[in-house]
Chain A
Amino acid sequence: MSLLVAEGLGYSVAGRPLLQGVSFALEAGEVLAVLGPNGAGKTTLLRLLSGEARPSQGRVELLGRPLERYGALELALVRAVLTQRREVGFPFSAYEVAFLGRLPHLERRAEGPLDHAQTEQALAHTQALPFAPRPYPSLSGGEQSRVDLARVLAQEPRLLFLDEPTNHLDPRHQVEVMALCRRLAEGGLGVVVVLHDLNLAGLFADRLLLLHQGRMVALGRPAEVLRPERLEAVYGLPFALAQHPSGRPWVMPLAQAEPSAVPGL
C-alpha cells in the first residue's frame, strides 16, 4: 500500500483552474521534489495533499484511506507540514515553538519527559539547540527555519510536507536540510518537498515532479526530468546540462549579463 496517492488532482478558484490532472503515488522511504516556476501550482498541490484544501477534481488517499475521511487531529498524527510562513504572535521561546509539534500527541494524555526528549532530539537534528532558549522572534530567518523544521520533526509524522525549506538558509544549511530529508526517508518517512533549486532537488530527491501552469509536465528520476529542452519550455530560459561528481544531473540556466541599454552606463 502506498503512503500517499493522488489521482487526477485539480483545484479551481472561481472557475479558474490553478491545478489540473496531477497523479502520482509516494512510497514510504521516498523523497519526492516538486519543482516549477512561480505560480505553477506547487503550494496549491501541497495544500491539497496536506488536507488543508479540498480538491475540485480527483482524490487523495493517505495510507489507503480517502483524505476527507480524516479529522484534523488524525491527520496531524500522520503528516506534518512546514509552510513558508514565519510569524509568531507572542514572544514564545524557540524551544516552546518546537515543542508545539508535540501537541497532537498530547490531545489525550498529559505531557511527559519523553515529549521533551523528543523535542530536544528534533532541535538537535536541525542544529537548533544552541538558540533554543532564545525568544523565537529574535532569531534570524535561517535560525527560525531550523526551529520550525524541528517542530515538524517533533510531531513524529510518517509523511512530511516541506514548502521551500531551504529558503533563508546558507548553502551549508541548505545541504544539511536536504541530507536530513534523505536520512528521514531512509528511516521510513515519505517526504514531499517543494524546491526552487533544481540541482538540490536533483541531488537529494528520488523522483522529481515538474509543474508548469498548473499541469504536471514530468514525473520521474532526476536524469529523466532535468532535460535542458524541457526546462527551457517550462522556465523560458536556455539550460545547459552537466554532471555532478555523484553522477546525478547538474543543470544551469544560460543567462547572460546583458550590456546596459542606457548609453553612458
Chain B
Amino acid sequence: MTGLYRPLRYHRALLALALVLPVALLLAAGMGAYYIPPLEIPRILWEKADQAYAVLVSIRFPRVVLAAAVGALLALSGAALQGLFRNPLADPGLIGVTSGAGLGAAIFIVLVPGAGALQVFALPLMAFVGGLLTTLLVWRLASSGGRVQVLTLLLAGIALNAAAGALIGLLISRATDEQLRSLTFWTLGGYGGATWPTLLAMAPTGLVAVWGLMRLARPLNALVLGEREAFYLGVNLEPFKRRAVAFSALAVGTAVAVAGGVGFIGLVAPHLFRLLAGPDHRYLLPGATLLGASLSVLADLVARTAVAPAELPVGVVTSLLGAPFFIWLLLRHKREVAR
C-alpha cells in the first residue's frame, strides 16, 4: 500500500469534536445568572450538598443536554438530507416537517383555549404530529408508481411549506395578543422548557432517528455519484430514500417539538465538518452530529447571557450567526459554479 487513503484528517476532526462537546457542556452548565465555575462542577457533583448542586441538576443540566440533543438531531438530519438531495444548500426544513410542526403548534395555541397545564406535553405532541403528517403528505405528493423523484420531493416540500405558512397566517389573524406572543416565541425556538421529563419524552424517537440515520452513511456515499450509479453499486434506491426521509422527519420532528424553530444548525454544521475534514458520510454523519450539539449548546449560552437578566430566543442567535455564514456559502458556491 502506498497510503493514498488518508482517513487521518477525519479521525482527528472527530476526536477534536468529541473533546469540544464536553467542554462546551461544562462551560454552558457553569455560566448563567447563578455562576458556577465550570472546573468546580465535578467536585460539586461529587459532594452533592450545595445550592450549586440543585441549580446544576434541576436547571442547568436538563437545559444544556436538551440544547445538545436538539442541535445533534438537526445537524444529523441536515447532513443526511443534503446527501439525499445531493445539494449542499439543503436544509432539514425542506421536507416540510418544520412548517408542519409550526402549523401543529399554531393550531394548538390558537384553537385550544386555556390549555394551561396541558401545554407542557400536548403542544410538543401536536407539533410532532403536525410535522410528521406534513412530511408524509410531501412524500405522497412526490411518489408515483412506487418511485419517488428527489426533485419532485423538493418541489412538493416547498409547496407544502408555503401552504402551512398560509394556514398559520390564517390562524394568526384570529389569535389573541397573548396567543400571538406565545406562537412567535415558539417559532423562534428556545430551550427554556427543559426538564428531565421533556428529555425522557424525546429520547425514544430521537434515539431511533439517530440509529436509523447513522446506518445510511454508505448509501449516501454511493448517491454522491447519482441515483443510477448508486443502484449500480448495490443500493436499493426506494427503501433507502424512504428511510432517509422518514428518519430525518423523525429527528427534526422531535427537535422542533421540544425546542420550536431553531434555524441554521442543520445547514451549517454539516458544512463546517466538510470544510474541517471532508465529505465522506461515514465520518460526516457522526461529525456533524457532534458539531451541531456543540454549536447549539454555545448558541444557547449566548442566548441566556448576552442580554441578562433577559433571555433571547435561541433561534435568533443561531440565525444571527448562521445567516451571514449561509450568505458566504452562497457566494462561494456561485463562484464555483461560474468557474
Contact = CB atoms under 8 A, between A and B. Distances in A.
Interface of A: 50, 52, 71-77, 80-81, 83, 85, 87-93, 95-97, 99-101, 103-104, 106-107, 113, 116-117, 119-120, 123, 129, 132-133, 155
Interface stretch (B191-199, B226-234, B309-317): B226-234
A52 B231 contact: yes
Contact of A96 (B1, B228, B235, B280): B280
A18 B224 CA distance: 29
Contacts of B236: 71-73
Nearest to A51: B231
Given A91-B274, A100-B221, A155 B233 contact: yes
Interface of B: 1-2, 4-6, 83, 86-88, 218, 221-226, 228-229, 231-237, 274, 278-280
Nearest to A72: B236
B153 to A, nearest CB: 16
A44 to B, nearest CB: 13
Contacts of A71: 236
Given A90-B83, A96-B279, A116-B1, 11 more contacts: A72-B234, A72-B235, A83-B229, A89-B224, A91-B274, A92-B278, A100-B222, A103-B234, A106-B218, A107-B218, A116-B4
Interface SS majority for chain A: helix
A124 to B, nearest CB: 10
A113 B5 CA distance: 10
Contacts of B86: 89
A92 B233 contact: no
B272 to A, nearest CB: 14
Contacts of B279: 90-92, 96
Given A89-B86, A89-B87, A100 B233 contact: yes
B226 A85 contact: yes
Contact of A81 (B87, B221, B223, B232): B232
Residue of B1, B236, B274 contacting most chain A CB atoms (<10 Å): B1
Nearest to B275: A91
10 contacts: A73-B234, A88-B225, A89-B88, A90-B279, A96-B278, A97-B224, A100-B233, A103-B221, A103-B233, A119-B4
A122 to B, nearest CB: 12
Contact of A117 (B1, B6, B225, B235): B1
Contacts of A155: 233
B287 to A, nearest CB: 14
Contacts of A76: 232-234
Contacts of A120: 1-2, 4
A101 B232 CA distance: 10
Contacts of B274: 90-91
B269 to A, nearest CB: 15
Contacts of A101: 233
A184 B103 CA distance: 59
B338 to A, nearest CB: 14
B309 to A, nearest CB: 44
B226 A87 contact: yes
B1 A92 contact: no
Contacts of A132: 4
Nearest to A93: B278
Contacts of B233: 76, 100-101, 103-104, 155
Which 10 pairs of residues, A with B, have the shortest CB-CB distance?
A76-B234, A90-B279, A89-B86, A104-B234, A73-B234, A81-B232, A72-B236, A103-B233, A116-B5, A89-B224
B288 to A, nearest CB: 13
B300 to A, nearest CB: 30
A93 B235 CA distance: 21
Given A52-B231, A99-B5, A72 B237 contact: yes
B2 A103 contact: no
Nearest to B234: A76
Contacts of A50: 232
Contacts of B228: 52, 81, 83, 85
A161 to B, nearest CB: 9
A95 B87 contact: no
Residue of A80, A100, A120 contacting most chain B CB atoms (<10 Å): A100
A123 B274 CA distance: 25
Contacts of A100: 221-222, 224-225, 233
Contacts of A91: 274, 278-279
B1 A103 contact: no
A194 B294 CA distance: 51
Residue of A80, A88, A132, A133 contacting most chain B CB atoms (<10 Å): A88
A89 B86 CA distance: 5
Contacts of A97: 224-225
A155 B236 CA distance: 17
A151 B1 CA distance: 17
A72 B222 contact: no
A47 B87 CA distance: 26
A77 B234 CA distance: 8
Nearest to B239: A72
Nearest to A105: B234
A214 to B, nearest CB: 21
